[in-house]
Structure formats: structure tokens, C-alpha cells
């Protein structure tokens, strides 16, 4: 999830919601999430005091707070912020506005991450409907919606539906951005996970490795998405029984997630657990 603020070289003031929100967005990008939330809370208080709770600027800031909390792994607080922001935006802009599609997408991702795959799928399908109506099938927001739907279908056990949705998302995003865009890389990583689940053990590491190379080039080695891709490569090799080759990507992914997200983040816990499983397999 990404913020939508543009940054300027102006010094951040204490009474400008746009500048305070931009400061929060910038801190979020540099992974200073505590500072980001402080800035965004300040940005939220300013339009509330000046414009009232129902103003779209309040909804937009809540969206950014939700994004920051989502990245920090606080899914319950993220979902609350997203739902509050969407309620404001719906009242101000109407249900069919493109920004409502973005809100539904964030809510869907959050619910899916919390384990509510049915609720996540419903929200992402609503996001897809709004984006298709607002922009047409070729818009990248439609491709992003397809990737999210694929993730929900995967978690719900609908492998055929997941493969179809993820493949459609990759095709959409590649046609818009080209093969080397970050979101295309994420799509390839999702495709690798689907292939692994359906038993395509040869195709899964290939797809994960392709996604990893794209994401590394776009985001740099220390980004958490790169760490997730490394873990996925290792998991796909682990599923093939190739424990020795799985060890290095799992170790690399765990290290990146530890440095980027902290030891207490659930994604680091997952990576550390899988790494322990790999080490145990090698020792037997």
C-alpha cells in the first residue's frame, strides 16, 4: 500500500495538514513507522479541527494511517482506520468514486491478512468493479485488484481461480508498466506461490526467482518486499526437498525482514520458523 502525497522541499509546518501528512508518508517510506504515525496523527487533527470529521481530507489521512499500521503488522488498527476513512469518502464522494475502489482494496488486503478470506474477497471484488467502471479493464488498478483477488482465492483453497486471477493481473500490469515494474515482480511471486500449491514444483522456484529479480532491481536489497521474495524462493525449494539450496534464500529473507520490520513482526516470525524447519531437515 502506498501513500498518494507529493513531497516538496518546503519545511514542514505545524498547521498544514498536507505537509504533516507528507512528512508521515516520507517517514513511512524510510520505515520510521513510529515517527510516521505521529506525523499522520497530527495531520489528522488539523483538518478535523478546521473542516470537520466528514471532510474528505480526514478520510485520506485515515487511509494513510491505515497503510502505515498495515505495514507495521497492526492489522486490527489498520482495518479500523481504513473502514473509518472509507465511510467518510463514501459520504463525500459517492460509492462509485475511484478512491472508494482504493479503500475497498486496502480493506480486502487487510481482511485477507487477518484470515477473513471471504470478507477479503468480497472487498477486493468490489474494488475491481469500481476500478473497471471508473478506468476500464486496462488500468493498473484493475491489475492490482486481480492480484488481490488471486491472493484471497489462494487462501480460500480455490487454486484454479487464484491462478486465473494472478495471471490476469500480471498480464494487465505488464501491458501498462512493462516487465520490470515492482508490481509485476510481486505478481510473479504470487504466481510462484500458486504453482507451488498445485504441485508445479519446477515452475514455482522459477516464478519466484523471476519476481525476486524484478523487485530487487526496483526496491533495493533491504526492502521488506525483497525479503518476502527471498523467503518465497526458499519455501519453493524446501517444498521440492532441496534443503541445501533453500537454506541461503531463507536466511537472506529472514535477515532482511528482521532489519526492515523488526524481530516482533509476524512476517519475520514466519521466516524464522521456516528457516528453523529447513535447518532441522538438513540435520536429519
Dump pLDDT digits (tens) for 254-283.
999 999 999 989 899 999 999 999 999 998
Q: Which residues contact 209 (CB under 8 A, 6 or more apart)?
A: 192, 233
Secondary structure letter of residue 54 according to DSSP: T
Architecture of domain 15-94: Alpha Horseshoe (1.25)
How high is the mean pLDDT of the chain? 85
Structural domain spans, the chain: 15-94
Residue 7: per-residue pLDDT: 24
> Tens of pLDDT along 139-185?
988 998 999 999 899 888 899 999 999 999 999 999 989 999 988 99
Which residues have a Cβ under 8 Å from the Cβ of 30 and sit 6 or more positions away? none
Q: For residue 139, count CB atoms less than 10 angstroms from its CB and return exposed for 0-12, middle for 13-18, buried for 19 or more.
A: middle
Percentage of the chain with pLDDT > 70? 88
**pLDDT value for 49:** 83
User: In angstroms, what CA-CA distances link 85 with 61, 76, 142, 194, 210?
Assistant: 8, 14, 21, 32, 36
Whole-model pTM? Answer: 0.68
pLDDT at 17 over 80: no
Alpha-carbon distance of 250 to 243, in angstroms, equals 10
Does the pLDDT at position 43 exceed 90? Answer: no
Dihedral angle of Cα 272, 186, 26, 46, to the nearest 10 degrees? -100
Q: What share of the chain is helix, strand, coil (3-state, %, to 5)?
A: 80, 0, 20
Percentage of residues in the chain having pLDDT higher than 90: 59
pLDDT for residue 2: 35
Using one digit for the tens of pLDDT, what is the confidence trace for 64-109? 899 888 988 899 999 999 999 999 999 999 999 999 999 999 999 9
pLDDT score, position 11: 28
Amino acid at each position: 500500500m502506498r501513500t498518494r502525497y507529493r513531497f516538496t522541499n518546503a519545511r514542514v509546518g505545524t498547521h498544514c495538514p498536507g505537509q504533516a501528512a507528507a512528512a508521515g508518508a516520507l517517514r513511512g517510506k524510510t520505515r520510521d513507522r513510529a515517527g510516521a504515525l505521529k506525523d499522520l496523527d497530527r495531520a489528522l487533527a488539523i483538518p478535523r479541527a478546521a473542516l470537520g470529521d466528514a471532510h474528505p481530507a480526514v478520510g485520506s489521512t485515515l487511509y494513510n494511517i491505515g497503510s502505515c499500521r498495515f505495514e507495521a503488522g497492526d492489522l486490527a488498527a489498520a482495518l479500523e482506520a481504513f473502514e473509518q476513512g472509507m465511510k467518510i469518502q463514501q459520504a463525500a464522494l459517492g460509492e462509485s468514486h475511484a478512491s472508494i475502489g482504493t479503500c475497498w482494496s486496502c480493506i480486502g488486503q487487510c481482511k485477507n491478512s487477518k484470515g477473513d478470506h471471504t470478507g477479503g474477497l468480497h472487498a477486493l471484488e468490489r474494488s475491481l468493479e469500481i476500478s473497471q467502471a471508473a478506468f476500464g479493464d486496462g488500468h493498473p488498478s484493475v491489475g492490482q485488484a486481480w492480484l488481490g483477488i488471486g491472493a484471497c482465492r489462494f487462501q480460500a483453497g480455490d487454486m484454479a481461480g487464484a491462478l486465473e486471477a494472478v495471471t490476469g493481473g500480471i498480464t494487465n500490469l505488464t501491458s501498462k508498466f512493462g516487465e520490470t515494474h515492482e508490481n509485476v515482480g510481486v505478481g510473479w511471486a504470487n504466481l510462484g506461490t500458486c504453482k507451488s500449491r498445485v504441485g508445479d514444483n519446477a515452475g514455482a522456484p522459477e516464478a519466484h526467482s523471476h519476481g525476486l529479480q524484478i523487485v530487487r532491481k526496483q526496491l533495493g536489497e533491504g526492502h521488506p518486499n525483497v525479503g518476502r521474495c527471498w523467503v518465497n524462493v526458499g519455501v519453493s525449494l524446501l517444498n521440492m526437498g532441496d534443503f541445501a539450496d533453500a537454506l541461503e534464500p531463507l536466511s537472506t529473507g529472514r535477515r532482511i525482514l528482521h532489519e526492515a520490520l523488526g524481530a516482533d513482526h509476524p512476517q519475520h516470525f514466519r521466516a524464522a520458523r521456516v528457516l528453523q524447519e529447513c535447518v532441522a531437515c538438513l540435520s536429519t
